Structure 1
Amino acid sequence: MKFCANLSLLFTEVDLLKRFDAAREEGFTAVEIQFPYEAELSELVNAQQANELSIALINVPTDDLMSGGEGLACVKNKRDKFKQAVDQCLAYAEALQVDCVNILPGRSLEEKNRQYYRDTLMENLDYAADQLASINVLATFEAINTEDMPGFLIHSTQQMRDLLADINHRNLAMQYDIYHMAKMNEPVAEQLQQLLHSDKICDRIGHLQFADTPQRGEPASGELDFNALFSLIEQSPYQGWLGAEYKPTQSTAASLQWFSPYKD
């Protein structure tokens, strides 16, 4: 299995650029960054190359999503702004040679607007998938639990599957986050067993992320059986990255006991 460290949540004891060094020192060969745009692209490239790290995934900018707003990808009157965000992301994705770019669907703050927002999301996902295909980068999108992000438009595995079926784009896949789906009380092990062994376009997983429930800590800090989950993934045909996107309950280095058996 291929594990990558999420530098937005791990190694926060040091500045972002120094987290590349920390990840390499702990044995990671790849990292992911939620929103790398706070750093100069040239500095990120230098830090990446100095540590010989792959960049598994970055996100398209999301406007006001992280501060409680609707975001970009599902809001029709922000389509131009979304395209600008995709352009910015393309520049980073190409220079950093990322494998995947994730598009966060956003919120529908009023239930009556949900279908209207879903239609916009479909248009924007199709557009982003086209643009990313031009630089050979896979587009993904994810479901997020509605406890952490109330009103989030896509919050179940079935909703992701339905979108993939409706859009039917060869360069689009779901990002399956074990933590978010477990928080929604979905049968994670059963779903992964089905999805990872399926060849249907609606079941395609392009990237996996994980954290334990209920507090989003490292494996073995909560309720989930990660020995079983990792074994299930390891025995599947899945060839993508597994992103450690958790909030350490102790120092990052101390939280990495789960990673010891998987280091190169």
Structure 2
Amino acid sequence: MLNFSANISLLFNETELIDRFKAAKQHGFKAVEIQFPYSLSVEAIQKTLEDNGLRLVLFNVAADDLLSGGEGLAAVPRKQDQFRQAVAQALAYAEILKPEAVNILPGCCHDKNRQPDYLETFKENLGFAVEAFAPLGIKTVFEAVNTRDMPEFIIHSGEQMLDILDQLDSPNLFMQYDIYHMYRMGEQPEEFINRHAEKIGHIQFADCPGRGQPGTGQINFRQLFSAIEKSSYSGWTGAEYKPAGLTSESLGWFGANTKPADNFARQI
């Protein structure tokens, strides 16, 4: 049976961020993830997690201007000091909230001629993050993002992620494999997960195209969930999609007391 987490940066956005923890619990989730928790105090997050009996399994290191069209933080050579400050901020949250993994967004390079420098900077920064989080027993993960939604993103395939893992060769560094992004890049997620499950620290999903809930696009989620269950992957599978309407109306794929793949099969 898969372990599903709700990404409350996208799900339950009908309410304020602090109230989404409770909404996730009320709808049957035992764990949540959040893209950037820093608008809330770590004490407020810790309290609402305890009050609702939830686990926080993942959050991101801050990414500066990435979501507003900038290059982000983790690969930009002139921003290395700022990246280390962002890691320190994430570490302060991680020491208290104890997530299973912290994600690093590689970011973009707007000048193709500088891409090699950006990749080297990213690998150096990634190594720094691994050394920061490993003593806490927390995995460092990084993800590829499709270049249709975010042109010039420097890491945009499973093969690139595998190559970086091989180069850094750290037992505490893993891929965050996002089904939506990799499907949009033409990959076959089921095959990739089956081959490389031991190198994946976290999985996220949304349907494609549109990034909506399962059943709104082209992905066969009954087949996909079954493939993840049969693989050696044992981490959390994060619902990170944009609900088409109320979040509560988007959860037909999810059953709190039934096997999720079977439950979804009854919905299609």
> d(CA) in 2 for partners of 1:212 and 1:177?
11
Q: Which amino acid aligns with 1:6?
A: N
> d(CA) in 1 for partners of 2:192 and 2:200?
11
Q: Which amino acid aligns with 1:40?
A: S
Structure 1 residue 221 and structure 2 residue 216: aligned? Answer: yes
User: 1:243, CA displacement in angstroms?
Assistant: 0.4
Deviations 1:32-68 (A, max 9, x none): 0000001111111111110010111000001111111
> d(CA) in 2 for partners of 1:262 and 1:253?
19
Q: Which amino acid aligns with 2:150?
A: M
Which segment drifts farther, 2-11 or 65-74? 65-74
Q: Which amino acid aligns with 1:100?
A: A
User: 1:110, CA displacement in angstroms?
Assistant: 1.3
Which segment drifts farther, 106-115 or 239-248? 106-115
> d(CA) in 1 for partners of 2:122 and 2:176?
15
Aligned to 2:6: 5
Aligned to 1:248: 243
> d(CA) in 2 for partners of 1:38 and 1:148?
25
User: 1:223, CA displacement in angstroms?
Assistant: 0.4
* DSSP 3-state at the match of 1:141: strand
Unpaired segments of 5 or more residues in structure 1? none
User: 1:262, CA displacement in angstroms?
Assistant: 3.9
Aligned to 1:157: 158
Aligned to 2:91: 90
> d(CA) in 2 for partners of 1:257 and 1:93?
32
Q: Percent identity?
A: 49
Which segment drifts farther, 83-92 or 186-195? 186-195
Q: Which amino acid aligns with 2:78?
A: N
Aligned to 1:191: 192
> How many residue pairs are counted as aligned between the two chains?
257
> Cα–Cα, structure 1 residues 262 and 33, in superposed 2: closer, same or farther, change >3 Å?
farther
Aligned to 2:234: 239
> d(CA) in 1 for partners of 2:229 and 2:222?
10
User: 1:160, CA displacement in angstroms?
Assistant: 0.4
Aligned to 2:39: 38
> d(CA) in 2 for partners of 1:63 and 1:262?
39
User: 1:220, CA displacement in angstroms?
Assistant: 0.9
Aligned to 1:128: 129
> d(CA) in 1 for partners of 2:53 and 2:190?
33
* DSSP 3-state at the match of 2:177: strand
> d(CA) in 2 for partners of 1:20 and 1:187?
32
Contact 2:21 2:49 in 1 (8 A): yes
Q: Which amino acid aligns with 2:60?
A: N
User: 1:105, CA displacement in angstroms?
Assistant: 0.3
> d(CA) in 1 for partners of 2:92 and 2:201?
21
Aligned to 2:115: 114
Q: CA RMSD for the aligned pairs?
A: 0.9
Q: Which amino acid aligns with 2:29?
A: F
TM-score w.r.t. the length of structure 2 is 0.94
Unpaired segments of 5 or more residues in structure 2? 261-268
Q: What is the correspondence of 1:158-177 to structure 2 with a 5 Å cutoff?
A: 158-177=159-178
* DSSP 3-state at the match of 1:134: helix
* DSSP 3-state at the match of 1:209: strand
Aligned to 1:100: 101
Contact 2:190 2:228 in 1 (8 A): no
Contact 2:101 2:138 in 1 (8 A): yes
Structure 1 residue 212 and structure 2 residue 213: aligned? Answer: no
> d(CA) in 2 for partners of 1:262 and 1:142?
28
